[in-house]
Amino acid sequence: MDNTTHFGFKDVATQDKQGMVRSVFDSVANKYDLMNDVLSFGAHRLWKHYTIAMANVKTGDKVLDIAGGTGDLARAFAAKVGDTGQVVLSDINAAMLNEGRKNLINKGVTGVEFVQLSGEQIPFADNSFDCVSIAFGLRNVTDKDQCIREMYRVLKPGGCMLILEFSKTNIVPLEKFYDFYSFNVMPKLGKFIANDEESYQYLAESIRKHPDQETLKQMVLDAGFGLCEYHNLSGGIVALHKGIKIP
């Protein structure tokens, strides 16, 4: 791996990025859900609902949610897999994982396992899960290819991987509005609501550094997945990539 990588628009030492990302999410964890609702005008709930619908998860399945943060996907997956299934909510950030635990307890969700882990080094055996998901987390991973390979490894043959992430829109008026909103409004809202302008500036920049739809699709195929399709949401501002591990 190169000795440098990007942290937003800055070049930083590769070994430093993980700690820098951790500090961002330490800062925003307790306002994360509120900020998601405000910044996306509530649309993140629709994006996640669509992701769950595309997952083909059924009763008794085992699901791993990486960078699962405050637990939105884990809660929905838990309802689908039922008492005979298993959901693991994981995050590299302890503060975010604690928010997820509190949210699920407050909503009466039981049986979800919480594990602090890095998506680049998943501490589970090969062929362990029927579904592996990561929502709005891949762009913060230092080595995205390694993370996708790890997701492939722990999936059972026939299992599906879901990557929900901000992406690229080709609709020019929407792109112009999105750029203005991301760099002029989003950080100011971060300062006003979460008292943290800098973290939301990073989050806006990290979206622009993330691979576009076709590039990410190729990364998924290169990791070994026999099939990958993506679905643009909100005009391509967000995309859901679904990969299948062919038996």
pLDDT of residue 12: 57
**Residue 91 marked ligand-binding:** yes
Enclosing domain of residue 91:
4-244
Contact present, 115 and 186 (Cβ < 8 Å): no
Residue 121's domain is classified under what CATH number? 3.40.50.150
- What φ, ψ does residue 92 adopt, rounded to 5°? -75, -15
Here the tokens at position 192 are 């006003």
5 is in an annotated binding site: no
Pair 154, 84: CB distance under 8 Å = no
- pLDDT attached to residue 143: 94
The sign one gets for the Cα dihedral 117, 122, 123, 129 is positive
From residue 142, give the alpha-carbon distance in Å to each of 85, 89, 97, 239.
31, 20, 19, 20
Q: Which residue has the higher pLDDT, 7 or 242?
A: 242
Other C-beta atoms closer than 10 Å to the C-beta of 106 total: 9
Mean pLDDT to the nearest integer, 2-6: 71
pLDDT digit string (tens) for 126-183? 999 999 999 999 998 999 999 999 999 999 999 999 999 999 998 999 889 888 888 8
Taking residues 3-21, what's their average pLDDT? 67
* Cβ neighbourhood burial of 18 (10 Å; 0-12, 13-18, 19+): middle
Specify the number of domains making up the chain: 1
